[in-house]
Amino acid sequence: MTDTQVLATAQQLGSRALAWLHTGQLGGFDRIEDNTIIDLADPNDVYKPLCEAALAASLILRDGVTGAHDARLARELLEASWAQLRCGDLLYERQLRHVTVIDPLETYAHFARVGYRHPAMDELLESLGRLRSVHAVEIPGNRQLALANARRIAGLSPAPDWPALAQATWLGALSEPWTIAWVIGYHVTHTVFHLTDWGARPECLPEPMHAYLRDWLPVWLDVWLETEQWDLAGELLIVDSCIGEPVTGRVGWDALAAVQQPDGLIPRDGATPLSYDDPEDTFREHEHTAVVGVVAATVALSRALGGAPVAA
Amino acid sequence: MPFTETALRDEYAAAVEQFSGRTLDAVRDGGGAAVPVGTTGPDVATDLDGPARRPLLAAARVLGANLLAPQLLVGAPPDEATAALLAEARRALPVPTAGTEAGALAIAWQDWAARCVLAATPHPDTGAAAPPPPAPPGPADLGWQVWSVRMAQLSVLALPGLDGAVHDAARAHTLDLARGTVRAMLRRDPTTAVRLARWLAWAQADGRPVRLEVEPVLDRIGFVGDGTARSGLELAVARALLTRAPWKGAQR
């Protein structure tokens, strides 16, 4: 059973991060320009953060463990993001043009999991799924899992060979835990996110990986808290909730809560948040960590309350 | 005077390195003596009669039970000349003082280890029958991070033939030892890592399940270690422990 103090800390951290995200996005940051075309000169510029915020909001609505106020903020975030994506048209056009690109499907899944559908996109994805090419794209193991999970959420067939996909990752190899590096840390967290569909299916994590994570998560969290890598530490807290009974206790939550600013901003790294002259740049710098904070809190609370996702 | 003290410290440190190197060679040779009596030339036996005697005694005190590791690891009788030197060092030099309670307890256990290995030689301590020090606090009290660092300070106890409360803690908490090892590796602290890996090797030889593969850790430390003979000795002892089957008598 998760410590109630941990849950209280998580709830407050997530709620404040959500408010910060909501204020920034609905205040005008992360705008996709009206003249944006499907080829996106820089997908990481606005499109990716927008989709990540949609992910956080969709999990809040999927898990249904927040209060009415936060649920409203989440719904508004999703509505605003969906509108920016022209109710899915932008995703559809990008997927139509780029047969083997994953991000339109991956983004669509965040919306689809809580009931936003685009019939032409559904039809297109079914059609593309029949191509050998789509399943043979050469991408890293954790990205293959992202693709598989997005297809699972969107209800697409055929089902992939999950054990083979899991095996083909750094985590699946049960790699020597002292060889992890910062970027591999993100590969590990995303392997778990996609295998368990962000904590909704902890049983989908193969048992050897589960036991391995229970052994080494506390070490990795300790090391990245010491080096003040709050973003990665937050992702490790999500993993801790995704795998069932958490093993890292309260230390990570207390550390993140201690660095969270009064307005809800959680610094990406370091003792004080990096700040720019343009407030939108500051928002962009720390936006991912806010998403991490919201997701970490949502999954922790959801798992502690039994973990049964509700229909949104 | 600072200069004098620095010179003395350097001299003692050099003696510890020299002795560690000899013991390391003896471990690699499979049970030779750290103090090769009867040989000639610029070796420890000759030096012992010269002006460098005091640093060598100090080094013997620092290395303690590790001096007899070459024989303990292969189940041979302790080398008599080495035992005599260790016994003399313990008579001639006081137990080091520690600034903290935890430090004092660590020294008491290191001292206990030296006392134990000498008890089986013709040079037992006068205090050989004294009770062992109190059991140190465990990971439940300290957290696995602090506990594992303290276990690293007690790595000299990870030898065949020694058994006590510290060993019971190692047996009971192999996962915490492994976590400490991984943490030290990630913090680029191979000195702590090799000492904890030695405990893991000891636990594995003791027949305990160990959750971390020790050989790759030792291989890695072989490349990134601090290069001192003292750490090399820890590495060699760990490797020697790993090659042992669970030894008779130490199992419970």
Q: B90-120: per-residue pLDDT in tens? A: 999 988 889 999 999 999 999 999 999 999 8
Residue B236's pLDDT is 97
Half-sphere exposure of A22 (CA within 13 A, CB side): 20
Pairwise CB contact (< 8 Å): B179 & A215: yes
> CB under 8 Å to A140, separation ≥6 — which residues?
A187
CA distances from B216 to B175, B184, B194, B197 (A): 17, 14, 12, 10
Q: How near does any CA of chain B get to the CA of A235, in Å?
A: 18
Pairwise CB contact (< 8 Å): B175 & A215: yes
Length of chain B: 252
Q: Determine contact, residues A143/A195, Cβ cutoff 8 Å.
A: no
Asked which of A300-309, B174-183, B239-248 is least confident by mean pLDDT, the reply is B239-248
Is residue B12's pLDDT more than 70?
yes
Helix (H, G, I), strand (E, B) or coil at A117: coil
What's the pLDDT tens digit per position in B113-155?
999 999 989 988 877 678 899 999 999 999 999 999 999 999 9
Q: Does A215 touch chain B (CB under 8 A)?
A: yes
- Of A85, A88, A64, nearest in space to A75 by CA: A64
Sole residue written with tokens 């293959």: A144
Residue A41's pLDDT is 61
Pairwise CB contact (< 8 Å): A177 & B216: no
Evaluate whether ipTM surpasses 0.90: yes
Q: Determine contact, residues A169/A208, Cβ cutoff 8 Å.
A: no
Cα distance from N-terminal residue to C-terminal residue, chain A: 26
Distance (Å, whole) CA B83 – CA A198 = 61
- Output the average pLDDT for chain B: 88
Is residue A268's pLDDT more than 80?
yes
A297 vs A306, more confident? A297
Residue A26's pLDDT is 85
Nearest to A176 among B145, B187, B213 (CB): B213
Is residue A217's pLDDT more than 70?
yes
CB atoms within 10 A of CB B248: 8
Pairwise CB contact (< 8 Å): A176 & B183: no
Q: Which residue of A has its CA nearest to B189?
A: A178
Question: Which tokens belong to A17?
Answer: 């991060």
CB atoms within 10 A of CB A162: 15
Is residue B45's pLDDT more than 50?
no
Residue A289's pLDDT is 96
Is residue B88's pLDDT more than 80?
yes
Burial class (CB in 10 A: 0-12, 13-18, 19+), A207: exposed
Set of chain B residues whose Cβ sits within 8 Å of the Cβ of A219: 179, 182-183, 186
Is residue A241's pLDDT more than 60?
yes
Set of chain B residues whose Cβ sits within 8 Å of the Cβ of A177: 182, 212
Asked which of A125-134, A205-214, B53-62, B227-236 is least confident by mean pLDDT, the reply is B53-62
Distance (Å, whole) CA A188 – CA A190 = 5
Distance (Å, whole) CA A97 – CA A88 = 14
CB atoms within 10 A of CB B7: 11
Residue A38's pLDDT is 64
Length of chain A: 312
Question: Which tokens belong to B32?
Answer: 């030779």
Distance (Å, whole) CA A140 – CA A144 = 6
Average pLDDT of span B169-178: 98
Set of chain B residues whose Cβ sits within 8 Å of the Cβ of A216: 179, 182
Q: Determine contact, residues B117/B76, Cβ cutoff 8 Å.
A: no
Residue A46's pLDDT is 76
pLDDT band at A43 (very low <50, low <70, confident <90, very high): low
Q: How near does any CA of chain B get to the CA of A223, in Å?
A: 7
- Output the average pLDDT for chain A: 92
Distance (Å, whole) CA B225 – CA B127 = 37
Pairwise CB contact (< 8 Å): A222 & B183: yes
B-facing residues of A in 148-187 (CB < 8 A) are: 176-178, 180
Distance (Å, whole) CA B21 – CA B19 = 5
- Between CA A237 and CA A243, with CA A238 as vertex, the angle to 5 degrees is 100
What's the pLDDT tens digit per position in A242-255?
998 899 999 999 99
Sole residue written with tokens 């590096």: A181
Q: Write down the H helix ranges in chain B.
A: 2-28, 44-47, 53-63, 69-72, 80-92, 101-119, 139-153, 165-172, 174-186, 190-205, 214-224, 229-242
A251 vs B42, more confident? A251
Pairwise CB contact (< 8 Å): A215 & B213: no
Number of cross-chain residue pairs from A and B with Cβ atoms under 8 Å apart: 31
Q: How near does any CA of chain B get to the CA of A193, in Å?
A: 24
Q: Which residue of A has its CA nearest to B193?
A: A178
Question: Which tokens belong to A285?
Answer: 């710098």
Pairwise CB contact (< 8 Å): B145 & A226: no
Is residue B225's pLDDT more than 70?
yes
